Structure 1
Amino acid sequence: MKFDINFFKTLLPENLQNLEIEYFDEIDSTNSYLLYRKEFSDKILVIADYQTLGRGRFNRKWYSNPSENLMFSIGLKNINVSDLQKFSFITPLSVQEAMEENLNLNLNIKWPNDLIVDNKKVCGILIETQIQNSEKAKVIVGIGINVNQTHFQYEIKDRTTSLKLLLNQEINREILLSKILDLFFKYTNLISVDFETIYQKYKSKCFGIGQKVSVLFGDKIYIGILSDINRNGELELLTENTKLSFNSGEITIIKE
């Protein structure tokens, strides 16, 4: 069943009733649309029922069937450059809390931006920015959630799952998206006021802290204890010889 945009709009809280919204049955990429083709004044939500060129970090293809999942991007303008990194905290936290509060499903945040259950990916996030001037920037937050899809491509099926597979029931996409947006914009209003609370909540949901992990960074693999995710969003790895910091990469738990 196609995403019901009219029903979705009735679910938005009062403070989001004036949110600019665009819906597409099909588009190449909601993030690309906002980055390169769409001008907007302040904030906007773009939803697609299907993406032909959906992408994740490192330009990886995002696989998603039509009319089964959530694929959307939030565009914000005039964000303080000093606050840009904070979106890597509030975005996964908003999705995680919406699922926990409304579906009674406890997901973990896998640094930097994935949401997982039993080491299987449910949600991926891609955050892209464009500097407007020395102080302000445009932020595009792309989110893809496996909601009602039950069959996945061979190359990803062993490391991917969906809400329907986890809960054994169909999930209302319109309600879930409205809950995520409510939390996202509440946290957006807090990033310059009470970031410490956001940071501590994020860390409490993070996967792997205190465990032995491997970090794939570029073409090298580093092994050590994941000691922290710092306030700049960097992973801190304690090796036998030193402490390293990474601003991107892929982590894997090492079971001994």
Structure 2
Amino acid sequence: MSFVAALAVKSVINNNINCNVKFKWPNDLMIDLKKVSGILLEPTDDKKAIIIGIGINLISNPEIKGNFWKSTNLYDVSGFKLIPENLSLELLEQIINFVNIWYEQGFEYIKALWLKNVLFLKQELHSTDLKNRVIGKFLGIDDLGQMIIKDKTNNSLNISSGTFIPINQ
């Protein structure tokens, strides 16, 4: 569901300003390698629903010390002050749109749309926050949304969480 939400957020941003939004696995949206949005999913206690939390930096952005990625906001990128209420309505419409696409065309289609706009595909990455450091080439995502990494011994690893950065940075 985070991929559906990411596609919806990207669509809303692109409908309102001219910029190149990219995805950073697993749940961030970036403009010029700066984080502009993040998505969190939490299941309800009974596991019958998912709560989707979406943050979009409209006119300000946090500067997080010790974080590899800088952040930005849509006002700094575009010079436009976007109206939160309008964006919220548009975002709900786009989430419904992409849920319908998922329902009609399957996750493979959603995955393909997401992969067209993901950062660092086919690049060497390394983990920054896992106990066992992972280094390898980012090959894509599996049907559960896990990152597929091919390590230097040619093993494929499916990673469910973590922060990865390009090896040369």
Fold conserved between structures, TM > 0.5: yes
Report the residue type matching 1:96 in the other structure: K
Correspondence for 1:200: 112
Distance 1:252 1:174, change over 3 A: same
Q: Structure 1: how far apart are the matches of 2:98 and 2:83?
A: 23
Q: Structure 2: how far apart are the matches of 1:226 and 1:181?
A: 31
Report the residue type matching 1:250 in the other structure: T
Q: Structure 1: how far apart are the matches of 2:64 and 2:146?
A: 32
Report the residue type matching 1:186 in the other structure: N
Distance 1:89 1:158, change over 3 A: closer
Q: Alpha-carbon deviation of 1:100?
A: 1.4
1:92 maps onto 2:11 in alignment: no
Aligned length: 166
Q: TM-score, normalised by structure 2?
A: 0.88
Q: Alpha-carbon deviation of 1:118?
A: 2.0
Decide whether the 8 Å contact of 2:35 with 2:70 is kept in 1: yes
Q: 1:88-237 counterparts in 2 under 5 A?
A: 88-130=2-44, 132=46, 137-149=48-60, 152-153=62-63, 155=65, 159-195=70-106, 196-216=108-128, 218-237=130-149
Correspondence for 1:244: 157
Q: Structure 2: how far apart are the matches of 1:165 and 1:221?
A: 35
Decide whether the 8 Å contact of 1:228 with 1:236 is kept in 2: yes
Distance 1:109 1:157, change over 3 A: closer
Comparing 90-99 and 170-179, the one that deviates more? 170-179
Q: Structure 2: how far apart are the matches of 1:94 and 1:232?
A: 19
Q: Structure 1: how far apart are the matches of 2:158 and 2:69?
A: 30
Q: Alpha-carbon deviation of 1:131?
A: 6.0
Report the residue type matching 1:245 in the other structure: N
Q: 1:17-28 counterparts in 2 under 5 A?
A: none
Give deviations 1:11-67, integer Å, cap 9, x for gaps. xxxxxxxxxxxxxxxxxxxxxxxxxxxxxxxxxxxxxxxxxxxxxxxxxxxxxxxxx
- Among all aligned residue pairs of Structure 1 and Structure 2, give the percentage whose two residues are the same amino acid: 27
Decide whether the 8 Å contact of 2:33 with 2:69 is kept in 1: no
Q: Structure 1: how far apart are the matches of 2:69 and 2:105?
A: 39
Decide whether the 8 Å contact of 2:57 with 2:73 is kept in 1: yes
Gaps of 5+ in 1: 1-86
Q: Alpha-carbon deviation of 1:115?
A: 0.3
Give deviations 1:73-95, integer Å, cap 9, x for gaps. xxxxxxxxxxxxxx021011110
Decide whether the 8 Å contact of 1:99 with 1:106 is kept in 2: no
Give deviations 1:129-161, integer Å, cap 9, x for gaps. 1364xxx711100011110116x4462697111
Q: TM-score, normalised by structure 1?
A: 0.60
Gaps of 5+ in 2: none
Q: Structure 2: how far apart are the matches of 1:105 and 1:224?
A: 30
Q: Alpha-carbon deviation of 1:222?
A: 0.9
Pair member with larger Rg: 1
Calculate the aligned-residue CA RMSD, in Å: 2.1
Q: Structure 1: how far apart are the matches of 2:103 and 2:125?
A: 32
Q: Alpha-carbon deviation of 1:189?
A: 2.7
